[in-house]
Amino acid sequence: MANGSSAAMAAAALAFLAVAAALCCDTAAGALPRLEHHPAKNDGSLSLLVVGDWGRKGTHNQSRVAEQMGRVGEKLDIDFVISTGDNFYDNGLKDVHDHAFEESFTDIYTAQSLQKPWYLVLGNHDYRGNALAQLSPVLRKIDSRFICMRSFIVNAEFVDFFFVDTTPFQRNYWTHPGKHHYDWRGVAPRGKYIANLLEDLDEAMKKSTARWKIVVGHHTMRSVSDHGDTKELLKLLLPVLKENGADFYINGHDHCLEHISSRDSPIQYFTSGGGSKAWRGVFQPNKDKLRFFYDGQGFMSLQLNREQAQFNFYDVSGKVLYQWTSSKTGHPQPSAYLDQEE
């Protein structure tokens, strides 16, 4: 239920203050930055949109997707937006003064309903530019919605969102970059960075008392589209998610919309990478259960309360393509998972 613009603005202000505190104050060594986002609705529920792989200055239907996001965002009275990365094509931002920031973000997502905090991770295309520019607080002075960090946590009372920097996991970006340059400042050496990140994530997830645990990254864990499964994430990141009872893994990278159910754990995989250029025309099944796949542009909504999570996928005309709901009958019992025979 809508609570009015004043409540939404107050929630946004609190989120921005939390970001400032997380960035300016000393935190415990090794701890992931933690932001607090208190749901503004009277019933305590949470609504948000998820979009990925979008920053093309309005082209490739980015503007059309943005328009429909605004309409759905108003209808759902969203609390915030999640970006699954590849925020600026083709090669990230040049610096904090790059006009691509306004041309692909501020000037595109103009609907009133989208004037909420945006929590963003970096994608591989973002790392091909000046990655530190996207992480800079200078951008928040230009557009205060833009909250981008490498890895961090957003707590919304009954749900914890764990944002994970997945690009460094991909070994070929380090060993075979081709014509591309990756900005590894603050990341290299790879092995130490990944080991520390996984340790911090494991510790944070173990400490979490949230009813829902949702992990967000750029790269696919499971996908039937162009990039397919990411073997490094399956080997290194997935065991941490399984060990700590993650409910959902949400990503971009493949320019499509899809839902895949794990056959050997309760985890559900959602790809929302249809923010602009799409229609790859690739389909390569994996061993898990494909529930939905759409090769075009669009975005996802998520509505949550303590008992239920509802996912919707939308296309560029705002049509609901797919809807899926998960319920928790007890805590911390996860949703039932598929057996190998289904």
The one catalytic residue among 125, 227, 259, 331: 227
Asked whether the beta carbons of 232 and 171 are under 8 A apart, the reply is yes
- In angstroms, the CA 302 to CA 268 distance is 13
- In angstroms, the CA 134 to CA 140 distance is 10
The two three-digit tokens of residue 52, written as one number: 């990925």
- Residue 247 annotated in ligand binding: no
- Residue 89 annotated in ligand binding: yes
Q: Give the single-character DSSP code of 278.
A: -
Provide the residue type at 16 as one letter.
F
**CA atoms within 13 A of residue 246's CA, in its CB half-sphere:** 26
- Residue 255 annotated in ligand binding: yes
The two three-digit tokens of residue 313, written as one number: 């996928």
The two three-digit tokens of residue 170, written as one number: 């991909």
Provide the residue type at 94 as one letter.
K
- In angstroms, the CA 277 to CA 61 distance is 7
- In angstroms, the CA 248 to CA 211 distance is 12
Q: What is the dihedral of CA 207, 40, 152, 110, to 10 degrees?
A: 160
Asked whether the beta carbons of 59 and 226 are under 8 A apart, the reply is no
- In angstroms, the CA 35 to CA 21 distance is 9
- Residue 26 annotated in ligand binding: no
- Residue 86 annotated in ligand binding: yes
- Residue 155 annotated in ligand binding: no
Look up 331 and say whether it is catalytic: no
- Residue 53 annotated in ligand binding: yes
Distance of CA 38 to the CA centre of its chain: 18
Q: Give the single-character DSSP code of 170.
A: -
Asked whether the beta carbons of 262 and 247 are under 8 A apart, the reply is no
Provide the residue type at 83 as one letter.
S
Q: Residues comprising the binding site for Fe cation?
A: 53, 86, 89, 124, 218, 253, 255
Q: Which positions are annotated as active-site residues?
A: 227
Feature table: binding site: 53, 86, 89, 124, 218, 253, 255
